[in-house]
Chain A
Amino acid sequence: MQENSILDYNNKMKIDINKIAKLANLKLLDKEKIVFEKQLEEILKYIEKLNTINTTNVIETSQVTNLTNVTKEDSISNSLKENEALSQSKNKSDSFFQVDAIFE
């Protein structure tokens, strides 16, 4: 696999929609899967045009105004009270958020 190349994936551009939906924690309807698969392939095909640009040695821009290592004083400030934090949840037990068991 050559680095920086989208075209390498050209022949197997088909998206495994079930795998991606699982990664994204989304339950999709069968008809959504069919539509999305087609639309996403069109979008990815359009995106391929980036591959015509040579980006060897180009540094990525992730912070556009060039900030690095922003720090602030590590001081205590006000935070939400327990009842406020819980106020929007339907899944709570006493003063806890309640979630499904993770371990059997």
Chain B
Amino acid sequence: MMDNQIKSNLTIKKAKSLLEKREISSVEITKEYLSKSNKLNPKLNAYITIDEKNALKKANKADIAYKNGENLPLLGIPIALKDLFLTKGLKTTASSKLLENYVPQYDATVVKKLTDVGAIIIGKLNCDAWAHGSSGENSDYGVARNPWNTEYIPGGSSSGSAVAVASDMCIASTGTDTGGSIRLPAGFCNVVGLKPTYGRVSRYGIIAMASSLDSIGHFTKTVEDSSLLLNITAGKDDKDATTFDTPTEYFEKKINDSLKGIKIGLPKEYFNSSLDKNIKNAIDKALAFYSKSGAEIIEISLPHTEYSIACYYIIQPAEVSSNLARYDGIRYGKTRECFGEEAKRRIILGTFTLSAGYYDAYYKKAMQVRTLIKQDFEKAFEKVNAIITPTSPSLPWKIGDKTDDPLKMYLSDIYTVTANLAGIPGISIPAGFCNDLPIGMQILGPHFSENLLFNLGHQYEINHEWYKIQPKI
């Protein structure tokens, strides 16, 4: 028998190597993660569904496959999915009561890709209902709690996805990022969160929020694991016309490249007086590391930054109102009365800005400002290779602190929405702690520059190893 030390706190890379050497079985790992999930979930509320029976069945199959000499990139690795990813035969709720009994008839493309290479789905994770939120508090199934302090929000909307990886209830998880919904909770929970380039990963079979902004990504403990997963999920899908036929790239191979000569931009608009001093200090230290590693740090300007939330809160609710119009209770799900407060608020706001007489003043105007925000980044990337910012201007806040003031809540995404508006990739990586709460650092790059983000993230990570610090729960 293996001791628990070996069976838990695993990265994909570590688990894979143990499985390949047959030092541990998939059933052993899966049982350990299921038992940890069952034990911690009453406290942290990360999972909506734990699929014990199927997970163990799949783990058994994985062990037989290993015995037969078979091997696949994720064979026997237990992961979990944000409850927005359709799973054939397994309840998918979007964390809304409207879909509380919905059992999909097909798998999302990403789910199929992950399970085709052997991943074991141990459960479906809590989030803000329909992915509407920055804190996780908009879930119809109760707020997921930050494992670093359960009185605090874990960040949203992919709240359970961040919590589950941070508290080692699964090895990796999936998420969606429309305005920061992967990067913000990753930053608040001390895990790695990747929002790929728009169109890098198929959206097919994932409940849509705002279609011109939605990006499909994931949470991992390390940057290397993040690159490994993207290698599996990325690529052209005929069922999502926005995906790209980019050649298969071996993302993980670039992570050890030297940082010498890489130009890193610091947008001055992100380092103003509203940024928490402790977060600024953490980022300054990271920049000193990059500078020492041979990178060049250059101040840049993204002049339209202050308009990004206003722009986003026209485009996003407009697209939300359109996407949620399909929920009429006829083919599946319950009726529209079952929408929660935040979904109703966004449907009303979006319906208003799209209604006759207001379209030009709001939606069209926002789409024009979006062009200017995108051009800010294009100009910046003529001067620098990547941009570094904090993931959030503040530390995680106490549960309940912002729930009465939607606008205040919306402003929490100030450092993350710009990447969605510009369609560029971003990664949040752990950058230290303040008052025992995690600090996240965001790295942004031009379209399809994920390799560079992994390179920059990995070099920082192997020299700091914040991920090795575990929450006491």
Note whether A and B form a binding pair.
yes
Interface residues of A (CB under 8 A from B): 3-6, 8-9, 15, 17, 20-21, 23-28, 32, 36, 39-40, 42-43, 46-51, 53, 55, 58-65, 67, 70, 72, 80, 84-85, 87-91, 97, 99
B368 at the interface (CB under 8 A from A): yes
A64 to B207 alpha-carbon distance, docked (Å): 20
A87 to B333 alpha-carbon distance, docked (Å): 11
Nearest residue (CB) in A for B309 is A46
**A-B pairs with beta carbons under 8 Å apart, 21 shown:** A5-B361, A24-B325, A25-B336, A26-B336, A26-B339, A26-B344, A32-B341, A39-B406, A43-B410, A60-B367, A61-B368, A62-B212, A62-B367, A64-B374, A65-B198, A70-B241, A80-B105, A87-B105, A89-B330, A90-B329, A91-B329
Q: Which residues of the partner chain B approach A70 to less than 8 Å between Cβ atoms? A: 241-242
A3 to B365 alpha-carbon distance, docked (Å): 10
Interface residues of B (CB under 8 A from A): 102-103, 105-106, 197-199, 212, 238, 241-242, 244, 304, 306-307, 309-311, 313-314, 321, 325, 328-333, 336-337, 339, 341, 344-345, 347-349, 351-352, 355, 358, 360-362, 364-372, 374, 406-407, 410, 421-423, 447
Q: Which residues of the partner chain A approach B349 to less than 8 Å between Cβ atoms? A: 40, 43
Q: Determine whether the beta carbon of B348 is less than 8 Å from that of A65.
A: no
| A89 and B371 contact, Cβ closer than 8 Å, known pairs A6-B361, A9-B361 | no
Nearest residue (CB) in A for B244 is A65
| A58 and B241 contact, Cβ closer than 8 Å, known pairs A50-B310, A65-B447 | no
| A67 and B199 contact, Cβ closer than 8 Å, known pairs A4-B360, A25-B336, A62-B212 | yes
Question: What would 14 more interface pairs be, CB under 8 Å, given A9-B361, A97-B331?
Answer: A4-B360, A5-B361, A6-B365, A21-B348, A26-B344, A36-B344, A43-B313, A46-B313, A49-B306, A50-B365, A53-B369, A58-B372, A61-B367, A88-B102
Nearest residue (CB) in A for B410 is A43
| A20 and B307 contact, Cβ closer than 8 Å, known pairs A61-B371, A63-B212, A65-B244 | no
| A20 and B198 contact, Cβ closer than 8 Å, known pairs A58-B368, A62-B367, A65-B242 | no
Q: Which residues of the partner chain A approach B351 to less than 8 Å between Cβ atoms? A: 20, 23-24
A5 to B331 alpha-carbon distance, docked (Å): 41
What 10 A-B pairs have minimum CB-CB distances, sorted nearest first? A64-B423, A60-B367, A88-B332, A55-B368, A70-B241, A24-B351, A58-B368, A61-B371, A61-B370, A84-B105
Q: Determine whether the beta carbon of A59 is less than 8 Å from that of B307.
A: no
- Secondary structure of the B contact surface, majority rule: helix
Interface centre among A28, A72, A87, A90 (most CB of B within 10 A): A90
Contact with B310, one of A3, A46, A59 (Cβ below 8 angstroms) = A46
A9 to B422 alpha-carbon distance, docked (Å): 29
Contact with B333, one of A24, A58, A88 (Cβ below 8 angstroms) = A88
- Secondary structure of the A contact surface, majority rule: loop
Q: Which residues of the partner chain A approach B103 to less than 8 Å between Cβ atoms? A: 87-88
Q: Determine whether the beta carbon of A20 is less than 8 Å from that of B352.
A: yes
| A43 and B406 contact, Cβ closer than 8 Å, known pairs A24-B321, A27-B336, A49-B310 | yes
Q: Which residues of the partner chain A approach B306 to less than 8 Å between Cβ atoms? A: 49
Contact with A47, one of B313, B344, B447 (Cβ below 8 angstroms) = B313
A31 to B307 alpha-carbon distance, docked (Å): 31
Q: Which residues of the partner chain A approach B352 to less than 8 Å between Cβ atoms? A: 15, 20, 40
B471 CB to nearest A CB, Å: 34
A49 to B306 alpha-carbon distance, docked (Å): 9
B370 CB to nearest A CB, Å: 5
| A23 and B355 contact, Cβ closer than 8 Å, known pairs A43-B407, A50-B311, A88-B102 | yes
B228 CB to nearest A CB, Å: 24
| A20 and B348 contact, Cβ closer than 8 Å, known pairs A64-B422, A80-B105 | yes
Q: Which residues of the partner chain B approach A17 to less than 8 Å between Cβ atoms? A: 348
Q: Which residues of the partner chain B approach A65 to less than 8 Å between Cβ atoms? A: 197-199, 242, 244, 423, 447
A25 to B337 alpha-carbon distance, docked (Å): 10
A85 CB to nearest B CB, Å: 7
A16 to B301 alpha-carbon distance, docked (Å): 40
A88 to B244 alpha-carbon distance, docked (Å): 32
A26 to B344 alpha-carbon distance, docked (Å): 8
A3 to B370 alpha-carbon distance, docked (Å): 18
Q: Determine whether the beta carbon of B348 is less than 8 Å from that of A40.
A: yes
A43 CB to nearest B CB, Å: 6
Q: Determine whether the beta carbon of A26 is less than 8 Å from that of B422.
A: no
